[in-house]
């Protein structure tokens, strides 16, 4: 069970958390997660009889990782992803203590978090995308125009939901020769993404026939997508738009804000797009992140083998 901060290692933990908050600028929520993980670790070290970092061994850290997965330390068993988060916290704490000179070795340096099974991002088929768009258009009046435009933009550009609702009118270039949208990703990193004809037509219909009506209720905002009060559409409301569109379109697959982004990437790669191009379009800092979309299922492997290998055809 978790220790308290008056137990062994309590003073060091308070100092490390202060370092994370002041020097690293971590949020209150992140600090709370670090505190939970590290209190549990301090309790585990105490159960081994350790009273200082100089006594902690690599085997101790490894045993803690196993305890997290099994719950053998008295706490709840953790998933691979939650265990990885806890291991990152432990490694950071030990590294800090070594840099502060309280120990001449770092027992956590070589300990790696468990790797969870790689899961393919959940994408929907092009037919389901069509039905989702039909469902979005089924809303009454100006909201139907807005919802259709929002879904077209999400699928047509691969934008994150936060990027889509954050769009300003000036970020849209609807020039039919080379239409594009300017998106601001993580860290306000800017990228220009081309748009197809369907997204352009849906945006034009919304901007001309619907947005001015919605804007009458507001105080004036450059944000492209508005709610019924004339204010910027929130992420939560955009989620609701997708859920309602799925219900109206008869899409039974789980639809989340990231579903259309996953589908955008998957369909591009299936159509022959280069993974590095898709990386740029998605705004991924590393191509490794994008490469998860290149993973294929066993069924796909069998289909490709049967169609392509000369000794597979009977």
Q: How far apart are CA 240 and CA 303, in angstroms?
A: 37
Q: Is the dihedral of CA 229, 233, 235, 238 positive or negative?
A: positive
305 included as an active-site residue: no
Q: Which of 131, 148, 211, 284 is catalytic?
A: 284
188 included as an active-site residue: no
Gyration radius from the chain CA atoms: 25
Q: Which of 148, 160, 211, 267 is catalytic?
A: 160
CA angle 181, 182, 185 (to 5 degrees): 125
Residue 192, helix vs strand vs coil: strand
Q: Which of 261, 262, 264, 267 is catalytic?
A: 261
> Tokens 């738009």 belong to which residue?
241
24 included as an active-site residue: no
Cβ 180 vs Cβ 173: under 8 Å: yes
Q: Which of 50, 85, 235, 258 is catalytic?
A: 258
Question: CA distances (Å), 73 to each of 38, 59, 63, 115, 248, in order?
Answer: 13, 15, 10, 21, 49
50 included as an active-site residue: no
Q: How far apart are CA 161 and CA 43, in angstroms?
A: 40
Q: Which of 24, 186, 276, 302 is catalytic?
A: 186
293 included as an active-site residue: yes
The token duo for 217 is: 């209720």
The token duo for 174 is: 């609807």
Question: CA distances (Å), 234 to each of 97, 161, 170, in order?
Answer: 43, 9, 19
29 included as an active-site residue: no
Task: Name 180's bridge partners.
Answer: 173, 194
Phi-psi region of 25 (alpha: psi -120 to 50; beta: other; left: phi over 0): left
Q: Could you list the active site residues?
A: 160, 186, 258, 261, 284, 293
């Amino acid at each position: 069970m978790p220790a308290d901060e008056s137990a062994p290692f309590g003073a060091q933990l308070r100092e490390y958390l202060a370092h994370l908050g002041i020097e690293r600028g971590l949020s209150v929520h992140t600090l709370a997660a670090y505190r939970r993980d590290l209190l549990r670790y301090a309790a585990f070290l105490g159960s081994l009889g350790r009273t200082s970092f100089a006594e902690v061994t690599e085997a101790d850290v490894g045993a803690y990782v196993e305890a997290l997965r099994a719950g053998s330390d008295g706490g709840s068993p953790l998933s691979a992803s939650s265990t990885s988060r806890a291991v990152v916290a432990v490694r950071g704490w030990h590294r800090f203590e070594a840099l502060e000179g309280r120990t001449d070795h770092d027992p956590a340096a070589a300990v790696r978090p468990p790797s969870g099974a790689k899961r393919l991002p959940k994408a929907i088929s092009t037919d389901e995308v069509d039905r989702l768009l039909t469902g979005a258009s089924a809303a009454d009046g100006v909201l139907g125009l807005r919802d259709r435009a929002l879904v077209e933009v999400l699928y047509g550009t691969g934008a994150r939901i936060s990027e889509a609702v954050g769009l300003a009118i000036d970020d849209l270039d609807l020039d039919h020769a080379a239409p594009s949208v300017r998106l601001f990703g993580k860290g306000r990193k800017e990228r220009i993404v081309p748009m197809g004809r369907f997204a352009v037509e849906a945006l034009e219909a919304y901007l001309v026939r619907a947005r001015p009506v919605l804007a009458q209720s507001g105080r004036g905002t450059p944000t492209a997508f508005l709610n019924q009060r004339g204010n910027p559409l929130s992420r939560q409301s955009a989620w609701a738009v997708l859920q309602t569109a799925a219900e109206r379109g008869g899409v039974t697959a789980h639809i989340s804000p990231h579903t259309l982004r996953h589908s955008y990437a998957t369909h591009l790669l299936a159509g022959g797009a280069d993974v590095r191009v898709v990386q740029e379009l998605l705004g991924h800092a590393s191509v490794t992140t994008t490469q998860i979309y290149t993973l294929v299922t066993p069924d796909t492997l069998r289909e490709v083998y049967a169609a392509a290998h000369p000794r597979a055809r009977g």
